Amino acid sequence: MWFQSFVKRVRLPALMVGLLVLSGCAGLGSTPTASVSPEVQAQMQDRHQRALAAMAQGDQALAQTIWQEMISLQPSLVVPYVNLGVLAERQGDKEAAKGWYEKALAVDAAQPEALNQLGVLYREGGQFDKALDCYQRALSANDQLPQAHYNLGILYDLYLADYQQAIAHYEQYQALREGKDEDVARWIIDLKRRVQ
């Protein structure tokens, strides 16, 4: 039972962020210096929606093609890089995913979803200091990102044994999400018992 809970804690973040990124992302995002006309923005948003529709229909190849076209037309848009990273993760290619997230961060060094997902990859690879840095940078960019709090909670809980920090981030995750995560609620109770 403990092992099943551990596996669920480790695997859930990638799925959660993947669904967030692939279900719409908060805008297409661009670097602060990029000047994109409203017409081009509308075209990119249309392409993005077509890619999301392709994903919903299970056509990953079409979604990948559309996001790559978006990058070739507007390399300053960050969301296609992040989505290609999530897609690569779903296909089991963590190295490609890491490359896409790093490209997203080259466009916008404070892109929170890319930082969060890169942190997951670092954590899964045992690079806990790098994971911690990514999660903290993600929260510096957007302290309202529930997934980063969740992942930071996991890192502190299971890998760094800093239970007070784990509790704080799990509680922040719960406060930011819609509806209560019953598993996380149990983890918080368990951690509070351990620190007493």
Query: Half-sphere exposure of residue 143, counting CA atoms within 13 Å on the CB side?
Result: 4
Give the span between the Cα atoms of 130 and 76, in whole angstroms.
25
Residue 35 confidence (pLDDT): 60
3-state helix, strand, coil in the chain (%, to 5): 75, 0, 25
Q: Is the pLDDT of residue 97 over 50?
A: yes
pLDDT for 71 = 96
Percent of the chain with pLDDT over 90: 78
Give the distance, in angstroms, between the CA of residue 141 and the centroid of all CA atoms in the same chain.
13
CA pseudo-torsion sign 159, 163, 168, 172: positive
The domain ranges of the chain are 9-24+35-195
> Per-residue pLDDT averaged across 83-112, rounded?
97
pLDDT at 168 over 70: yes
pLDDT at residue number 41: 87
Measured CA distances, 147 to 20, 65, 92, 102, 192 (Å): 9, 27, 20, 19, 21
Tell me what the mean pLDDT of segment 113-141 comes to.
98
9-24+35-195 is classed in which CATH architecture?
Alpha Horseshoe (1.25)
Token pair 């045992």 is found at: 126
HSE-CB for 186 with a 13 A CA cutoff: 6
Q: What is the DSSP string of 34-63?
A: ----HHHHHHHHHHHHHHHHHHHTT-HHHH
CA distance 30 to 152: 26
Mean pLDDT of the chain: 86
Rounded to the nearest 10 degrees, the angle between the axes of helix 182-195 and helix 163-176 is: 150
Query: How buried is 31 (Cβ within 10 angstroms: 0-12 exposed, 13-18 middle, 19+ buried)?
Result: middle
The whole-number average pLDDT for the span 44-54 is: 94
Query: Per mean pLDDT, which range of 23-37, 115-129, 152-166 is the poorest?
Result: 23-37
pLDDT at 15: 36
Tokens linked to 49:
């929606």
What angle, rounded to 10 degrees, do the helices at 60-73 and 79-90 form?
150
Judge contact between 133 and 151, C-beta under 8 A. no
Has residue 8 got a pLDDT over 80? no
pLDDT digits over 50-92, tens only?
A: 999 999 999 999 999 999 999 999 999 999 999 999 999 999 9
